[in-house]
Amino acid sequence: MRNKMSFLVFLLLAGLVTLAVPTASFAQISVGVGISVHIGPPPLPVYAQPVCPGPGYIWTPGYWAYGPDGYYWVPGTWVMAPRVGFLWTPGYWGWAGGVYIWHGGYWGPHVGFYGGINYGFGYGGVGFVGGYWNHGVFAYNTAVTHVNTTVIHNTYVNKTVINNNVTVNRTSFNGGTGGVRAEPTAEERGYANEQHIQPTAAQGQHEHAASTNRAMLASANHGQPSIAATSRPGEFSGRGATAARPAGANASFRPPAHNNSNAGNRPPAHNNAANRPPSGNQGNAFHPNAANTSHGNTHAMQQNQAHAHTANAPHNNPHPAQNASHPAHNQAPKSSPAKNEHEHR
């Protein structure tokens, strides 16, 4: 009888341990600081942003995750924010103590430090300029995001965040040899102490799906994944899935870039209500929609578009092909100087 009870206790403890240990992929996306690797991640691939599936979706850029078989690509995707007014701070790889450490992304009232990595489409290294929250509704900056304005009407155009004079940088890690030289600003350090929400279940499932798809492995796709971005989490096929493009390829909506080679080149972060769309864009100003989701953070950003949008007319934004720009926050966008644009080469 004693042996039987001991065995049952063993099984119970084993079960609890199993539940306490998350899968490798979900652990990477949800842990604040975790997973260390001795080899740095590949450069960020060039890809076009799928059209936003509907009001309230927030863009979360793609990134290289690490598993038993090495680095694998987790496609960028549109995600519903877990709370109105919250923005997404992307995760990033940072060099420290002789290894590359993954710093997980999170949701919060402001966009914090993400290593100065130029992920594109509003995330140019500092903050986010792809849109902002306005009275519980997210407004999209169609100068840098792919939004169908016949479906989503809460949009505006702010091209002042685009800067074409900086060298394109596809580096995917901070610090170390060849890494982005950037440190958090005092403002970003303050944001680190705010209330945060971990990635949503859909984001965790999205990463897990990528981890089980061998085509996502860097060793198999050589840095050009066949599924680089998706319209919704986990939808790895169909019209909403886009493939990476050759590094030197032209894109119909080319990504802006920022020179993040050193912290001195990083644009200042801002967070005030005065940071609103420029008056010159009144004709395409934010039109409230019945939407009630997502988040926005605004600041300098960039994007080189072959099909430029006019400031006063609604349009179906061409596919942004990666690398946009700067800080912005839970307020209207600021017309501050932006830095450079290009596509990742």
Residue among 169, 167, 192 nearest 180 (CA):
169
Cα dist from 306 to 250, 303, 317, whole Å: 9, 10, 11
Is it the case that residue 52 has pLDDT exceeding 50? yes
**What's the pLDDT at 169?**
80
Q: What is the DSSP letter of 45?
A: P
- Summarised one tens digit per residue, pLDDT across range 2-20 is 444 444 444 444 444 333 4
Exposed/middle/buried for 342, CB within 10 Å: 0-12, 13-18, 19+? buried
Contact 63, 172 (CB under 8 A): yes
What are residue 260's phi and psi, to 5 degrees? -100, 25
- Summarised one tens digit per residue, pLDDT across range 182-235 is 999 999 999 999 999 999 999 999 999 999 999 999 999 999 999 999 999 999
**What's the pLDDT at 271?**
39
Amino acid at 306: A
Contact 138, 154 (CB under 8 A): yes
Measured between alpha carbons, how far is 131 from 138 in angstroms, rounded to an integer? Answer: 7
Cα dist from 279 to 60, 159, 282, whole Å: 28, 12, 5
Average predicted confidence (pLDDT) for the chain: 73
Is it the case that residue 264 has pLDDT exceeding 70? no
Contact 274, 222 (CB under 8 A): no
